[in-house]
Structure 1
Amino acid sequence: MPPRRRAAPRPAHNEAAQLADQLQEAGYTKRDIARVINRDPSLVSQFYTKNKGAAFVTALREVLAAVQTGGITDLPELTAIAARHIQRRTTTSGARARVRGKAVLITPTGSGTGRVGAQAIASGSARLRPLIAEAARQGLRLAFTVRLAKTAYLHSSGSRTDSPGIRRDVIQRADHTEERSYGSAQTGGFDAADFARRVNAASGDVTAAVHQWLVETGRIHPDVHILHLEIRTWRPR
Protein backbone atom coordinates (compact mmCIF):
# COMPACT_ATOMS: atom_id res chain seq x y z
CA MET A 1 0.00 0.00 0.00
CA PRO A 2 1.59 3.30 -1.04
CA PRO A 3 2.27 5.77 1.78
CA ARG A 4 -0.26 8.54 2.23
CA ARG A 5 0.75 11.93 0.99
CA ARG A 6 0.92 14.44 3.75
CA ALA A 7 -0.93 17.66 3.21
CA ALA A 8 1.34 20.61 2.66
CA PRO A 9 1.51 22.90 5.69
CA ARG A 10 -0.72 25.93 5.46
CA PRO A 11 1.26 29.11 4.82
CA ALA A 12 1.45 31.56 7.68
CA HIS A 13 -0.83 34.56 7.51
CA ASN A 14 0.69 37.85 6.41
CA GLU A 15 1.48 40.60 8.90
CA ALA A 16 -1.81 42.44 8.35
CA ALA A 17 -3.74 39.28 9.25
CA GLN A 18 -1.52 38.66 12.27
CA LEU A 19 -2.14 42.19 13.52
CA ALA A 20 -5.86 41.74 12.90
CA ASP A 21 -5.72 38.52 14.93
CA GLN A 22 -4.16 40.38 17.85
CA LEU A 23 -6.82 43.07 17.68
CA GLN A 24 -9.50 40.38 17.68
CA GLU A 25 -7.87 38.82 20.74
CA ALA A 26 -8.19 42.25 22.34
CA GLY A 27 -11.94 42.14 21.75
CA TYR A 28 -12.43 43.81 18.37
CA THR A 29 -14.31 42.24 15.48
CA LYS A 30 -13.31 42.26 11.82
CA ARG A 31 -16.04 44.85 11.29
CA ASP A 32 -14.48 47.03 14.00
CA ILE A 33 -11.08 46.73 12.32
CA ALA A 34 -12.64 47.68 8.99
CA ARG A 35 -14.15 50.79 10.59
CA VAL A 36 -10.78 51.72 12.07
CA ILE A 37 -9.06 51.60 8.66
CA ASN A 38 -12.14 53.07 6.92
CA ARG A 39 -12.65 50.15 4.58
CA ASP A 40 -15.29 47.52 3.86
CA PRO A 41 -15.19 44.44 6.17
CA SER A 42 -14.63 42.22 3.13
CA LEU A 43 -11.12 43.68 2.81
CA VAL A 44 -10.21 42.50 6.32
CA SER A 45 -11.30 38.99 5.37
CA GLN A 46 -9.01 39.23 2.33
CA PHE A 47 -6.04 39.72 4.67
CA TYR A 48 -6.45 35.98 5.27
CA THR A 49 -7.77 34.68 1.97
CA LYS A 50 -5.99 36.82 -0.63
CA ASN A 51 -2.88 37.99 1.22
CA LYS A 52 -4.00 41.62 1.09
CA GLY A 53 -3.45 44.35 3.67
CA ALA A 54 0.21 45.34 3.24
CA ALA A 55 -0.79 49.00 2.88
CA PHE A 56 -2.42 48.92 6.33
CA VAL A 57 0.35 47.24 8.32
CA THR A 58 1.81 50.46 9.74
CA ALA A 59 -1.63 51.75 10.69
CA LEU A 60 -2.57 48.45 12.33
CA ARG A 61 0.72 48.40 14.26
CA GLU A 62 0.01 51.86 15.64
CA VAL A 63 -3.57 50.95 16.50
CA LEU A 64 -2.46 47.78 18.28
CA ALA A 65 0.16 49.74 20.23
CA ALA A 66 -2.49 52.29 21.22
CA VAL A 67 -4.72 49.49 22.50
CA GLN A 68 -2.04 47.47 24.28
CA THR A 69 0.14 50.20 25.76
CA GLY A 70 -1.92 53.35 25.56
CA GLY A 71 -5.15 51.88 26.85
CA ILE A 72 -7.12 53.50 24.03
CA THR A 73 -10.25 51.51 23.20
CA ASP A 74 -12.61 54.04 21.60
CA LEU A 75 -13.11 53.30 17.89
CA PRO A 76 -13.17 56.96 16.74
CA GLU A 77 -9.83 57.56 18.49
CA LEU A 78 -8.34 54.43 16.95
CA THR A 79 -9.67 55.48 13.55
CA ALA A 80 -7.94 58.85 13.89
CA ILE A 81 -4.67 57.10 14.78
CA ALA A 82 -4.94 54.77 11.79
CA ALA A 83 -5.81 57.58 9.38
CA ARG A 84 -2.42 59.21 9.97
CA HIS A 85 -0.70 56.11 8.59
CA ILE A 86 -2.92 55.25 5.63
CA GLN A 87 -2.16 56.67 2.20
CA ARG A 88 -4.62 56.42 -0.64
CA ARG A 89 -3.37 54.46 -3.64
CA THR A 90 -2.90 56.32 -6.90
CA THR A 91 -3.39 55.28 -10.51
CA THR A 92 -0.61 55.34 -13.10
CA SER A 93 -1.71 58.86 -14.00
CA GLY A 94 -1.31 60.01 -10.42
CA ALA A 95 -5.03 60.31 -9.65
CA ARG A 96 -6.42 58.88 -6.42
CA ALA A 97 -7.48 55.28 -6.92
CA ARG A 98 -11.01 54.21 -6.13
CA VAL A 99 -11.36 52.00 -3.08
CA ARG A 100 -14.28 50.15 -1.60
CA GLY A 101 -15.37 52.17 1.39
CA LYS A 102 -17.50 51.21 4.33
CA ALA A 103 -20.76 49.53 3.49
CA VAL A 104 -23.72 51.91 3.38
CA LEU A 105 -26.09 50.95 6.17
CA ILE A 106 -28.84 53.49 5.59
CA THR A 107 -29.83 55.40 2.47
CA PRO A 108 -30.12 59.21 2.45
CA THR A 109 -33.90 58.82 2.84
CA GLY A 110 -33.41 56.89 6.08
CA SER A 111 -34.31 53.49 4.68
CA GLY A 112 -32.26 50.57 5.92
CA THR A 113 -32.77 46.83 6.33
CA GLY A 114 -30.79 44.09 8.02
CA ARG A 115 -31.61 40.39 8.32
CA VAL A 116 -29.99 37.54 10.22
CA GLY A 117 -30.67 33.82 10.39
CA ALA A 118 -29.93 31.08 12.88
CA GLN A 119 -26.13 31.17 12.70
CA ALA A 120 -25.83 34.94 13.21
CA ILE A 121 -28.58 34.92 15.84
CA ALA A 122 -26.61 32.39 17.87
CA SER A 123 -23.78 34.92 18.13
CA GLY A 124 -26.03 37.84 19.03
CA SER A 125 -26.90 39.24 15.57
CA ALA A 126 -23.85 41.50 15.79
CA ARG A 127 -24.15 42.60 12.16
CA LEU A 128 -27.42 44.41 13.02
CA ARG A 129 -25.87 46.52 15.76
CA PRO A 130 -24.25 49.10 13.41
CA LEU A 131 -27.58 49.53 11.62
CA ILE A 132 -29.38 50.25 14.89
CA ALA A 133 -26.60 52.56 16.09
CA GLU A 134 -26.65 54.57 12.87
CA ALA A 135 -30.45 54.77 12.96
CA ALA A 136 -30.22 56.10 16.51
CA ARG A 137 -27.62 58.68 15.48
CA GLN A 138 -29.89 59.92 12.69
CA GLY A 139 -33.01 60.00 14.86
CA LEU A 140 -34.82 57.35 12.81
CA ARG A 141 -37.65 54.98 13.64
CA LEU A 142 -37.43 51.23 13.35
CA ALA A 143 -39.52 48.09 13.20
CA PHE A 144 -38.59 44.45 13.37
CA THR A 145 -39.84 41.05 12.29
CA VAL A 146 -39.16 37.87 14.24
CA ARG A 147 -39.74 34.23 13.42
CA LEU A 148 -40.39 31.76 16.22
CA ALA A 149 -42.17 28.46 16.68
CA LYS A 150 -45.94 29.00 16.74
CA THR A 151 -46.05 27.70 20.31
CA ALA A 152 -43.51 30.34 21.38
CA TYR A 153 -46.05 33.16 21.19
CA LEU A 154 -48.40 33.86 24.08
CA HIS A 155 -51.17 35.29 21.88
CA SER A 156 -52.79 33.83 18.80
CA SER A 157 -51.91 35.35 15.44
CA GLY A 158 -53.97 38.42 14.68
CA SER A 159 -54.71 39.04 18.35
CA ARG A 160 -55.15 42.72 19.14
CA THR A 161 -53.23 42.12 22.37
CA ASP A 162 -50.18 41.41 20.25
CA SER A 163 -48.49 44.17 18.28
CA PRO A 164 -49.51 43.17 14.74
CA GLY A 165 -53.21 43.15 15.59
CA ILE A 166 -54.04 42.19 12.02
CA ARG A 167 -53.15 39.05 10.13
CA ARG A 168 -51.38 40.76 7.26
CA ASP A 169 -48.43 41.31 9.62
CA VAL A 170 -48.27 37.57 10.35
CA ILE A 171 -46.76 34.89 8.10
CA GLN A 172 -47.45 31.27 9.01
CA ARG A 173 -45.00 28.71 7.63
CA ALA A 174 -45.23 25.02 6.86
CA ASP A 175 -42.48 24.21 9.37
CA HIS A 176 -44.77 25.28 12.25
CA THR A 177 -43.02 28.61 12.70
CA GLU A 178 -44.58 32.03 12.44
CA GLU A 179 -43.24 35.46 11.52
CA ARG A 180 -44.68 38.50 13.22
CA SER A 181 -43.84 42.13 12.55
CA TYR A 182 -43.73 44.76 15.27
CA GLY A 183 -43.89 48.43 14.36
CA SER A 184 -44.43 50.10 10.99
CA ALA A 185 -44.45 53.52 9.38
CA GLN A 186 -48.23 53.54 9.79
CA THR A 187 -48.10 52.90 13.54
CA GLY A 188 -45.00 55.01 14.15
CA GLY A 189 -42.64 52.17 14.98
CA PHE A 190 -40.01 52.40 17.70
CA ASP A 191 -37.49 55.08 18.58
CA ALA A 192 -34.15 53.77 17.28
CA ALA A 193 -32.29 55.58 20.07
CA ASP A 194 -34.32 53.77 22.71
CA PHE A 195 -33.67 50.46 21.01
CA ALA A 196 -29.96 51.23 20.72
CA ARG A 197 -29.88 51.73 24.50
CA ARG A 198 -31.49 48.33 24.92
CA VAL A 199 -28.83 46.77 22.71
CA ASN A 200 -26.04 48.49 24.64
CA ALA A 201 -27.55 47.28 27.92
CA ALA A 202 -27.45 43.75 26.49
CA SER A 203 -23.69 44.13 25.79
CA GLY A 204 -24.33 44.57 22.07
CA ASP A 205 -26.45 41.42 21.73
CA VAL A 206 -29.28 42.47 19.40
CA THR A 207 -31.00 39.10 19.69
CA ALA A 208 -31.07 39.34 23.47
CA ALA A 209 -32.42 42.91 23.35
CA VAL A 210 -35.29 41.94 21.03
CA HIS A 211 -36.01 38.79 23.03
CA GLN A 212 -36.11 40.79 26.26
CA TRP A 213 -38.56 43.29 24.78
CA LEU A 214 -40.85 40.50 23.60
CA VAL A 215 -40.76 38.90 27.05
CA GLU A 216 -41.21 42.18 28.94
CA THR A 217 -44.24 43.10 26.87
CA GLY A 218 -45.84 39.68 27.34
CA ARG A 219 -45.62 38.42 23.78
CA ILE A 220 -43.46 35.27 24.02
CA HIS A 221 -42.44 32.63 26.54
CA PRO A 222 -39.10 33.44 28.23
CA ASP A 223 -37.38 30.17 27.27
CA VAL A 224 -38.00 30.27 23.50
CA HIS A 225 -35.48 31.10 20.78
CA ILE A 226 -35.70 33.58 17.92
CA LEU A 227 -35.05 31.83 14.60
CA HIS A 228 -34.98 34.82 12.25
CA LEU A 229 -34.71 38.56 12.83
CA GLU A 230 -35.10 41.52 10.52
CA ILE A 231 -34.67 45.22 11.36
CA ARG A 232 -36.10 48.01 9.17
CA THR A 233 -35.56 51.76 9.55
CA TRP A 234 -37.13 54.89 8.11
CA ARG A 235 -37.13 58.63 8.65
CA PRO A 236 -40.23 59.96 10.43
CA ARG A 237 -42.24 62.59 8.58
Structure 2
Amino acid sequence: MPASPSPAVQPADGRPIVELRRYTLRPGERDTLIGLFDREFVETQEAVGIDVIGQFRDEDDPDRFVWLRSFPDMRSRAGSLTAFYLEGEAWKAHGPAASATMLDSSDVLLLRPSALGAGFRPKEGRPPVGSGTLPSSRVMVTLYFLNAPAGDAFLRFFDAQVSPLMAEMGAAPIATLVTEHAENTFPRLPVREGENVFAWFAAFENADRLREHQERLARSPEWTVKTLPRLTDFLSAPAEQWRLAPTARSLLR
Protein backbone atom coordinates (compact mmCIF):
# COMPACT_ATOMS: atom_id res chain seq x y z
CA MET A 1 0.00 0.00 0.00
CA PRO A 2 1.52 3.41 -0.92
CA ALA A 3 2.30 5.79 1.90
CA SER A 4 -0.16 8.58 2.55
CA PRO A 5 1.06 12.03 1.48
CA SER A 6 2.39 14.28 4.19
CA PRO A 7 0.16 17.19 5.21
CA ALA A 8 2.42 19.60 3.34
CA VAL A 9 1.87 17.85 0.01
CA GLN A 10 -1.77 16.86 0.16
CA PRO A 11 -3.35 16.51 -3.28
CA ALA A 12 -5.36 19.51 -4.43
CA ASP A 13 -9.11 19.04 -4.04
CA GLY A 14 -10.23 22.13 -5.89
CA ARG A 15 -10.30 24.33 -2.78
CA PRO A 16 -7.58 27.01 -2.78
CA ILE A 17 -5.40 27.93 0.17
CA VAL A 18 -6.21 31.39 1.53
CA GLU A 19 -4.11 33.54 3.84
CA LEU A 20 -5.96 36.10 5.96
CA ARG A 21 -3.21 38.47 7.09
CA ARG A 22 -3.58 41.25 9.69
CA TYR A 23 -0.60 43.50 10.42
CA THR A 24 -0.04 45.81 13.35
CA LEU A 25 1.78 48.89 12.08
CA ARG A 26 3.79 51.68 13.59
CA PRO A 27 1.52 54.64 14.44
CA GLY A 28 0.78 56.76 11.39
CA GLU A 29 2.38 54.35 8.90
CA ARG A 30 -0.69 52.65 7.43
CA ASP A 31 -1.08 54.92 4.42
CA THR A 32 2.63 54.54 3.71
CA LEU A 33 2.30 50.76 3.56
CA ILE A 34 -0.91 50.87 1.52
CA GLY A 35 0.65 53.19 -1.05
CA LEU A 36 3.64 50.89 -1.36
CA PHE A 37 1.52 47.75 -1.47
CA ASP A 38 -0.95 48.96 -4.08
CA ARG A 39 1.88 50.22 -6.28
CA GLU A 40 4.54 47.52 -5.94
CA PHE A 41 3.10 44.29 -4.48
CA VAL A 42 -0.06 43.42 -6.42
CA GLU A 43 0.97 42.57 -9.97
CA THR A 44 4.38 41.31 -8.80
CA GLN A 45 2.72 38.68 -6.61
CA GLU A 46 0.24 37.74 -9.29
CA ALA A 47 3.14 37.23 -11.71
CA VAL A 48 4.39 34.31 -9.58
CA GLY A 49 0.99 32.63 -9.20
CA ILE A 50 -0.45 34.38 -6.13
CA ASP A 51 -4.01 35.72 -6.28
CA VAL A 52 -4.23 38.99 -4.35
CA ILE A 53 -7.86 38.99 -3.26
CA GLY A 54 -8.13 42.22 -1.31
CA GLN A 55 -6.42 44.74 0.93
CA PHE A 56 -8.09 46.89 3.58
CA ARG A 57 -7.92 49.47 6.31
CA ASP A 58 -9.28 48.18 9.63
CA GLU A 59 -11.98 50.72 10.52
CA ASP A 60 -11.68 50.00 14.23
CA ASP A 61 -7.90 50.37 14.51
CA PRO A 62 -5.93 53.03 12.59
CA ASP A 63 -2.75 50.97 12.90
CA ARG A 64 -4.07 47.73 11.40
CA PHE A 65 -3.79 46.63 7.78
CA VAL A 66 -5.62 43.48 6.58
CA TRP A 67 -5.20 41.62 3.32
CA LEU A 68 -6.03 38.33 1.61
CA ARG A 69 -4.22 36.22 -0.92
CA SER A 70 -4.67 32.70 -2.23
CA PHE A 71 -2.81 29.79 -3.84
CA PRO A 72 -4.02 26.68 -5.69
CA ASP A 73 -2.55 24.36 -3.03
CA MET A 74 0.16 24.13 -0.37
CA ARG A 75 2.88 22.97 -2.75
CA SER A 76 2.37 25.89 -5.13
CA ARG A 77 2.21 28.22 -2.12
CA ALA A 78 5.78 27.28 -1.23
CA GLY A 79 7.00 27.88 -4.77
CA SER A 80 5.18 31.18 -5.21
CA LEU A 81 6.33 32.59 -1.88
CA THR A 82 9.90 31.55 -2.60
CA ALA A 83 9.71 33.25 -5.98
CA PHE A 84 8.31 36.46 -4.52
CA TYR A 85 10.20 36.88 -1.23
CA LEU A 86 13.54 35.19 -1.95
CA GLU A 87 14.00 35.58 -5.70
CA GLY A 88 11.78 38.46 -6.78
CA GLU A 89 13.03 41.96 -7.49
CA ALA A 90 9.98 43.74 -6.05
CA TRP A 91 10.51 42.47 -2.50
CA LYS A 92 14.26 43.00 -2.70
CA ALA A 93 13.71 46.60 -3.72
CA HIS A 94 10.72 47.55 -1.58
CA GLY A 95 10.49 44.91 1.17
CA PRO A 96 12.71 46.81 3.64
CA ALA A 97 10.51 49.90 3.37
CA ALA A 98 7.37 47.82 3.87
CA SER A 99 8.85 45.99 6.86
CA ALA A 100 9.82 49.31 8.42
CA THR A 101 6.12 50.23 8.75
CA MET A 102 5.30 47.07 10.74
CA LEU A 103 5.37 46.15 14.40
CA ASP A 104 3.94 42.66 13.85
CA SER A 105 3.11 40.64 10.75
CA SER A 106 2.55 37.22 12.33
CA ASP A 107 -1.24 37.42 12.80
CA VAL A 108 -1.98 35.14 9.86
CA LEU A 109 -4.72 32.54 9.45
CA LEU A 110 -4.17 29.76 6.93
CA LEU A 111 -7.60 28.85 5.57
CA ARG A 112 -9.43 27.11 2.77
CA PRO A 113 -13.08 27.21 1.59
CA SER A 114 -15.41 25.21 3.81
CA ALA A 115 -16.73 23.39 0.73
CA LEU A 116 -16.37 23.43 -3.03
CA GLY A 117 -17.79 26.72 -4.25
CA ALA A 118 -17.62 28.39 -0.82
CA GLY A 119 -14.55 30.49 -1.60
CA PHE A 120 -14.23 33.92 -3.18
CA ARG A 121 -15.52 34.12 -6.72
CA PRO A 122 -12.99 35.41 -9.26
CA LYS A 123 -13.40 39.07 -10.10
CA GLU A 124 -12.05 41.30 -12.82
CA GLY A 125 -11.57 45.00 -13.15
CA ARG A 126 -8.96 45.93 -10.55
CA PRO A 127 -8.33 49.69 -10.76
CA PRO A 128 -4.95 50.48 -12.35
CA VAL A 129 -1.80 51.50 -10.54
CA GLY A 130 -2.11 55.10 -9.41
CA SER A 131 -5.83 54.96 -8.72
CA GLY A 132 -6.70 57.03 -5.68
CA THR A 133 -10.49 56.78 -5.49
CA LEU A 134 -11.52 54.87 -2.41
CA PRO A 135 -14.63 52.67 -2.75
CA SER A 136 -17.52 53.42 -0.43
CA SER A 137 -18.13 49.70 0.10
CA ARG A 138 -17.20 47.79 3.23
CA VAL A 139 -16.29 44.17 3.98
CA MET A 140 -16.92 42.46 7.31
CA VAL A 141 -14.99 39.42 8.46
CA THR A 142 -16.49 37.30 11.24
CA LEU A 143 -14.27 34.74 12.95
CA TYR A 144 -15.70 31.87 14.97
CA PHE A 145 -13.12 30.07 17.12
CA LEU A 146 -14.44 26.52 17.32
CA ASN A 147 -13.85 23.95 20.04
CA ALA A 148 -13.15 21.31 17.35
CA PRO A 149 -12.40 21.32 13.61
CA ALA A 150 -15.39 22.54 11.61
CA GLY A 151 -17.29 19.29 11.04
CA ASP A 152 -20.60 18.41 9.47
CA ALA A 153 -22.64 19.36 12.55
CA PHE A 154 -21.31 22.91 12.67
CA LEU A 155 -21.43 23.42 8.91
CA ARG A 156 -25.04 22.23 8.76
CA PHE A 157 -25.92 24.55 11.63
CA PHE A 158 -24.29 27.52 9.93
CA ASP A 159 -25.90 26.81 6.56
CA ALA A 160 -29.36 26.18 8.02
CA GLN A 161 -29.51 28.72 10.84
CA VAL A 162 -26.81 31.41 10.71
CA SER A 163 -26.40 32.07 6.99
CA PRO A 164 -30.12 32.60 6.18
CA LEU A 165 -30.52 34.91 9.18
CA MET A 166 -27.49 36.96 8.19
CA ALA A 167 -28.84 37.25 4.65
CA GLU A 168 -32.19 38.42 6.01
CA MET A 169 -30.34 41.03 8.05
CA GLY A 170 -28.43 42.33 5.03
CA ALA A 171 -25.18 40.37 5.37
CA ALA A 172 -25.37 37.36 3.07
CA PRO A 173 -22.08 35.47 3.33
CA ILE A 174 -19.98 35.77 0.17
CA ALA A 175 -17.37 33.23 1.31
CA THR A 176 -16.91 30.77 4.17
CA LEU A 177 -13.47 29.43 5.10
CA VAL A 178 -12.07 27.00 7.65
CA THR A 179 -8.61 26.44 9.11
CA GLU A 180 -6.13 24.59 6.90
CA HIS A 181 -4.15 22.35 9.25
CA ALA A 182 -1.45 21.34 6.77
CA GLU A 183 2.17 22.01 7.64
CA ASN A 184 3.32 25.55 6.85
CA THR A 185 5.24 25.12 3.58
CA PHE A 186 7.00 28.49 3.89
CA PRO A 187 8.10 28.71 7.54
CA ARG A 188 9.87 32.03 7.02
CA LEU A 189 6.36 33.48 7.27
CA PRO A 190 4.69 32.14 10.44
CA VAL A 191 0.98 31.37 10.68
CA ARG A 192 -1.25 30.89 13.69
CA GLU A 193 -1.42 27.27 14.77
CA GLY A 194 -3.48 25.18 17.16
CA GLU A 195 -6.78 26.90 16.35
CA ASN A 196 -9.98 25.81 14.63
CA VAL A 197 -11.36 28.86 12.88
CA PHE A 198 -14.44 29.34 10.75
CA ALA A 199 -14.34 32.66 8.90
CA TRP A 200 -17.15 34.16 6.90
CA PHE A 201 -17.21 37.33 4.84
CA ALA A 202 -19.96 39.77 3.88
CA ALA A 203 -19.89 42.83 1.64
CA PHE A 204 -21.89 46.04 2.07
CA GLU A 205 -22.67 48.97 -0.18
CA ASN A 206 -21.28 51.41 2.36
CA ALA A 207 -20.49 51.89 6.05
CA ASP A 208 -24.10 52.83 6.84
CA ARG A 209 -25.38 49.50 5.51
CA LEU A 210 -22.86 47.61 7.64
CA ARG A 211 -23.89 49.56 10.73
CA GLU A 212 -27.58 48.96 10.00
CA HIS A 213 -26.92 45.23 9.77
CA GLN A 214 -25.21 45.16 13.14
CA GLU A 215 -27.98 47.19 14.77
CA ARG A 216 -30.72 44.98 13.30
CA LEU A 217 -28.92 41.86 14.44
CA ALA A 218 -28.50 43.18 17.98
CA ARG A 219 -32.27 43.79 18.17
CA SER A 220 -33.24 40.43 16.69
CA PRO A 221 -34.63 37.83 19.14
CA GLU A 222 -34.10 35.22 16.46
CA TRP A 223 -30.39 35.93 16.77
CA THR A 224 -29.90 36.88 20.40
CA VAL A 225 -32.32 34.38 21.97
CA LYS A 226 -32.47 31.45 19.56
CA THR A 227 -29.41 31.26 17.30
CA LEU A 228 -26.56 32.85 19.26
CA PRO A 229 -26.83 30.51 22.28
CA ARG A 230 -26.68 27.50 19.95
CA LEU A 231 -23.68 28.99 18.16
CA THR A 232 -21.92 29.52 21.48
CA ASP A 233 -22.01 25.78 22.12
CA PHE A 234 -19.57 25.33 19.23
CA LEU A 235 -17.14 28.08 20.32
CA SER A 236 -13.98 27.97 22.40
CA ALA A 237 -13.61 31.78 22.55
CA PRO A 238 -15.71 34.86 21.74
CA ALA A 239 -16.25 35.59 18.07
CA GLU A 240 -14.41 38.48 16.41
CA GLN A 241 -15.65 40.88 13.74
CA TRP A 242 -13.40 43.07 11.60
CA ARG A 243 -14.92 45.99 9.73
CA LEU A 244 -12.78 46.66 6.69
CA ALA A 245 -12.55 49.52 4.19
CA PRO A 246 -11.09 48.45 0.82
CA THR A 247 -8.08 50.28 -0.54
CA ALA A 248 -8.27 51.93 -3.96
CA ARG A 249 -6.93 48.80 -5.70
CA SER A 250 -8.60 46.06 -3.67
CA LEU A 251 -10.30 43.52 -5.90
CA LEU A 252 -12.64 42.48 -3.09
CA ARG A 253 -14.84 45.45 -2.29
With a CA cutoff of 8 Å and minimum separation of 6, indicate the structure with the bigger relative contact order. Answer: 2
The answer to whether the superposition gives a TM-score over 0.5 is: no
Structure index of larger Rg: 1
TM-score tier after normalising by the smaller chain length: under 0.3
Instruction: Provide TM-score, normalisation by structure 2.
Output: 0.24
Structure having the higher strand fraction is: 2
